[in-house]
Structure 1
Amino acid sequence: MKSKNQILSFIALSALLSFSACSSDDSSGDTGGDDGDGVVGTSKYIVTASSGENDYLVASDDIDAGTVIDATGTSAVQSPGTRIWESFGEEVLYGFLYNGADASTSASYIMDESGNIVKRNELALDVSIHTRGVVNDDIILVYSDRLRDTTIVQHAYFYTVDSQTDASQEYSLVTDDLLEEGEIAYFTDVAEYEDKIILGARSINSSSFSSDYYNSTYVVVLNDDFTVDQVIKDTGRTGSVSSQKYSQGDTGLEVVDNGDLYVFSAAQTDYDSAASSTIPSGVLKINAGTYAFDDDYFFNVTEASGGYNLFRSYYMGGTTFILAMYPGTNDDATFGIDADRFAVVDVATQSFTWVTGFPESALTSWEYKLPYIDTANGLLIVPATPTENENYLYAIDPDTATATQLSEVIGESAKAVSKLTYQGE
């Protein structure tokens, strides 16, 4: 159950952003600025790797093949614990500790004027952050109750942080019967659509994480005060938004350049129900300016892939996405733990092309991976472990559907790659 200490710890969340500023629109391609010159807009790649029971962050001017990024060296910045990483633009990088059973410390990291990674602040939390996103320049963190005592009212908690004014606020929403009678809503994604907050959701029985509605898709539209505006529902084509592993859901909602909203589903069940489930992974669409699923559009990803399931989706511009896929359906489904294949899809034409050149079985502990979408070069940069004790970054080019090995990462496991840009005082 969510404690008062947990709520009070989030009141301090605005302190995390006490030094934040707007990202430079022109900084995305600048990776080689001089260290120590204090030039606003200087950017570096940030690679995170684990070693022992901790994570370590390393800055690098480039990630080209032949470059070695050492997360065990003296320049690495230690971040205690095993973290889930999330970047918000190029101005701040967060490390959230997964284990919500114990009090834990999440941390934010920025780049200083010398091009060094510095921990900006800490925030003691005793709760997992299940999903996160950016809406109207506010950082939104989401946590959903799943209390096994069904006599207790269940809530979702939302924490908004204005990255420019440092204002923070907490909201809550009762999730009992929100999607279906007798089940609770468990949120898996947050995004912005038509100036509204939207959420991907699962309908579950809190006592067991099972459901009577696996073949339904839900998008919840919220008002600015986090009350429910409406629930958009589709039944019979695919399942809940996004894919979830160890409470982490993400990348299931994406508004493309023309304003259409595409909704991605792994059609996830639970392990007990997997043997009898025949729900395919798929993509639905909500046309720009509307709040209903397009009855004439359905992209059956399981069928297009020859029997694979969708785990994560990454928007590459236009109507192109790169999908992380995992093998197995029904009782052979693994729910993403071995999502080690990628595909390039065009959601408008419903084309599907497997990516070549990416090593098999290279994404151990995939639920904690954070790829970087390099919009300047049109590439997806993925941390991977092609063989035991070897870690590399790979670039996936959606134009050619090929993966290329980049820099080596020294550490037990390469977990995340992102960028930080010096914002100035």
Structure 2
Amino acid sequence: MSFKKQWFNAFLACVFFSLLSCTDDENKDTVDPDPDPVATVESKYVVAATSGENDYLVMGDELKAEYTFDATSTDAVQSPGDRTWTFYGDEVVYGFLYNQADAGTTASYVLNADGELSKRNELALDVSIQTRGVVNDQLVLAYSDRLRDTTVEQKAYFYTVDPSTDASKLYTVVSSDLLEEGEAAYFTDITEYEGLLVAGARSISSSSFSSDYYHNTYLVVFNPDFTVKEVIKDEGRTGFVAGQKYSQGETGLEVVENGDLYVFSSGQTNYADANTENIPSGVLKINKGDFAFDSAYFFDITEASGGYNLFRSYYLGGTTFIVSMYPGKNDQATFGVDADRFAVIDVASKSFEWVSGLPTAAGLETDPFLIGMPFIDGESEQLIVPITTSENTHYLYALDPSSASASQLSNVIGEGVKAVGMLKSAD
């Protein structure tokens, strides 16, 4: 072979291997080592709605007006029965079946890493749940006896639940004569204050659910072992903590950013005594570090609203709350059946402003939960409220405390809408 041909063949070989080497390098830079990566779902909005005789959990990515949550879809997760829903932050949602004095089923649901809503556990509780709160990173659930036989010792039952495992522990407290002699304590709300569990309570005659002490406000402070540390009492300004309808009290106690504890009362009595008692809805305060009501502070919500009654309160930061209100005085009061008006209040300045842009709820006696459990959206600093309108349509509304206005968000397809919240997937 001539020298020229040998040189030319060698040149071609060098060019070939050079091109092959460049192609390999390019492939190394551009080819994904994992051609089918799995994206981790971080969070979802969750709506609890009803269809037929059951509740359904429906997930979604956003709450915009063009987005729909469909409880009748195949993607909805069925939760049998008529439940009350509570979100523990963005970790887990609990559905409670209320069965009066008998055991009530409680189911927990979480969002897994694949973005699917899955049932985690059924909690074996000996009683139904009337109220709940978060204390020292645990969910605390409570039920109070109302045994009509006054010769029988009345008790209250508190469960602590670990939200990461659902492990629970029961504590029993004697409620007879705890607040007033001859009456029992009936617990209506729970919060953490100064590292201790503080529970709002009403004093009741168990035989009739009436009281000789409608005009008093009571807080019970517990030690970590659920023995009673002390009872804090206020006389004559408003009534028991929170509003109550069908045993579901809540959102009556709130510790604000500066450490003060604000105490909200609807001023309710009971139906039999409503026309003979006149108790304003109001807000009391316990200053940070104290275990007594501030005698100089009282915010008369009934007066500020022009005659309405407080039902629920939702904390939006600073000293700002959004409150739900219901109409009527004395025996004309609806006790929260149609708590279809909202207002923005500042508990420091005692300001009150009605929220505009909301529809009117139907307010039917046969279906009193037409305003569902809201979601406090910390990112948007708004309150997201499930509402059933008088036309029997279901929507989520965003309530903006800065403008005291509401805007309509997502439509919910189903027979009712009970709650909205957010869940984040576990690592």
> What is the TM-score of this pair, normalised by structure 1?
0.89
* Corresponding residue of 1:405: 408
**With CA pairs under 8 Å and 6+ residues apart, which has the higher RCO, 1 or 2?**
1
1:219 to partner: Cα distance = 0.7
* Corresponding residue of 2:31: none
Q: Label 1:86 to 1:360 Cα distance change in 2 as closer, same or farther (>3 A).
A: same
Q: Which secondary structure state, in structure 2, belongs to the residue aligned with residue 272 of structure 1?
A: helix
Q: Which secondary structure state, in structure 2, belongs to the residue aligned with residue 214 of structure 1?
A: coil
Q: Give the partner amino acid of 2:39.
A: D
Q: Does 1:382 align with 2:385?
A: yes
Cα offsets for 1:24-81 (capped at 9, x unmatched): xxxxxxxxxxx95235xx1110011111110011100001011111110010000000
Q: Does 1:253 align with 2:253?
A: yes
* Corresponding residue of 2:40: 38
Q: Give the partner amino acid of 2:207.
A: S
Q: Give the partner amino acid of 1:299.
A: F
Aligned equivalents of 1:150, 1:176: Cα separation in 2: 9
Aligned pair partner of 2:424 in 405, 410, 421? 421
The 8 Å contact of residues 362 and 384 in structure 1, kept in 2 or not, is answered as no
* Corresponding residue of 1:9: none
1:103 to partner: Cα distance = 5.2
1:138 to partner: Cα distance = 1.2
Q: Which secondary structure state, in structure 2, belongs to the residue aligned with residue 303 of structure 1?
A: helix
The 8 Å contact of residues 245 and 336 in structure 1, kept in 2 or not, is answered as yes
Q: Does 1:281 align with 2:284?
A: no
Aligned equivalents of 2:102, 2:136: Cα separation in 1: 32
Aligned equivalents of 1:383, 1:368: Cα separation in 2: 6
Q: Give the partner amino acid of 2:48.
A: T
Q: Does 1:393 align with 2:393?
A: no
Cα offsets for 1:369-397 (capped at 9, x unmatched): 21100011100000111243411100000
Aligned equivalents of 1:378, 1:309: Cα separation in 2: 25
Which ranges of 4 or more aligned residues in structure 1 deviate by more than 6 Å? none
The 8 Å contact of residues 248 and 367 in structure 1, kept in 2 or not, is answered as no
Q: Give the partner amino acid of 1:160.
A: T
Output aligned runs, 1:165-180, within 5 Å.
Answer: 167-180=167-180
Aligned equivalents of 2:102, 2:185: Cα separation in 1: 24
> What is the TM-score of this pair, normalised by structure 2?
0.88
* Corresponding residue of 1:145: 145
Aligned equivalents of 1:399, 1:90: Cα separation in 2: 24
Q: Which runs of 5+ in 2 are unaligned?
A: 1-36
Q: Label 1:218 to 1:64 Cα distance change in 2 as closer, same or farther (>3 A).
A: same
1:168 to partner: Cα distance = 2.9
The 8 Å contact of residues 336 and 366 in structure 1, kept in 2 or not, is answered as no
Identity of aligned residues (%): 64
Choose 98-107 or 405-414, whichever is displaced more: 98-107
Aligned equivalents of 1:104, 1:142: Cα separation in 2: 12
Aligned equivalents of 2:269, 2:166: Cα separation in 1: 39
* Corresponding residue of 1:75: 75
Aligned equivalents of 2:185, 2:144: Cα separation in 1: 8
1:162 to partner: Cα distance = 2.7
Which structure has the larger Rg? 2
